[in-house]
Amino acid sequence: MASVAESGFARLHKLDNLSGTERAQPIDRWIFVGMAVWFILIVLVGFVPDSMMKVAIVKAGMRPPFPTILHVHAVLMGSFLLLLLAQTLMVATGRCALHKQVGIAAFILVPALVVAGLILAPTMFHQAWGGAHFGPPAVRMALAPIVPILENILLLQISAGVLFAVFIGIALNARATAPGVHKRMMFLATAVPLGAAIDRMEWLPSSMPASPWATDLYILLAVSPMFVWDLVRNRRVHEAYTVWLAIYLPVAALVAFAWDKPWWHAAAERMMGV
């Protein structure tokens, strides 16, 4: 009897251990669904109040209407986030064949997103720069201090666009040979442009616009639920995070180094052709 009881306690101990299988497997299936929902919530919380405020300003005639490319970019990014959610739901519910078929859409959405971003950043900059230099006196006065901030934000936009493309490329390339890298890197890639939503949450403590370090910290916090679960589940740091950090951190350091430097402002203006 003692041996039977002992083995029973041993089995219960194994079940309570998150590195085991019986308790962990349901979370394995749904952690990525939760991450997709979490990312969508971050985007909604960041962009919805900001967009409503700016729409009201446009209706009041205090700023020009949004350019078409802004709407295109918003639709593409929303579609990508919904695709990410759908893909995780398919895997969680065992529809892996459908997951692979639908995943082909990423090969269309990702290039479209990158191109839209390349058009959107200079479009928004030129809209503000034009108002600061050629608008009515009140508009010029309001926008003059904004232009240097937008020149700094160009650093974040350029780095986010490049990193997103690089990480998505790694994820898609690994889809057949390293599914663990593929699924994690899809989320790590998506986390990079979340900074645009996070920076719009003015109620969060932030280092902006003086420095971008807080944005990087919030991006790291955004991916932390997935990272912590992986660490607890596998008792090691998955190689996807190692690759991501090895690329992301040096780029973030370069952005911080260039931030608000006179030579960067001069370079940004040359880049924008103003």
* pLDDT beyond 70 at 12: no
Q: What confidence tens digit (pLDDT) does each residue in 256-273 have?
A: 999 999 999 999 999 999
Burial tier of 220 (Cβ tally within 10 Å: 0-12, 13-18, 19+): middle
Q: Please, what's the b/e burial string for 156-187 (b: 16 or more CB within 10 A of its CB; e: otherwise)?
A: bbbbbbebbbbbbebbbebbeebeebbbbbbb
166 against 17, higher pLDDT: 166
Q: How far is CA 208 from the centre of its chain?
A: 17
DSSP 166-222: HHHHHHHHTTTT-HHHHHHHHHHHHHGGGHHHHTT-TTS---TTT-SHHHHHHHHHH
pLDDT tens digits for range 174-229: 998 999 999 999 999 999 999 999 999 999 999 999 999 999 999 999 999 999 99
2 band by pLDDT with thresholds 50, 70 and 90: very low
- DSSP alpha helix (H) spans, the chain: 2-16, 24-59, 68-92, 96-102, 106-134, 137-143, 146-173, 179-191, 195-198, 213-234, 239-258, 262-272
Bigger pLDDT: 1 vs 160? 160
| Residue 92 scores a pLDDT above 50 | yes
Residue 61 — very low, low, confident or very high, per pLDDT cuts 50/70/90?
confident
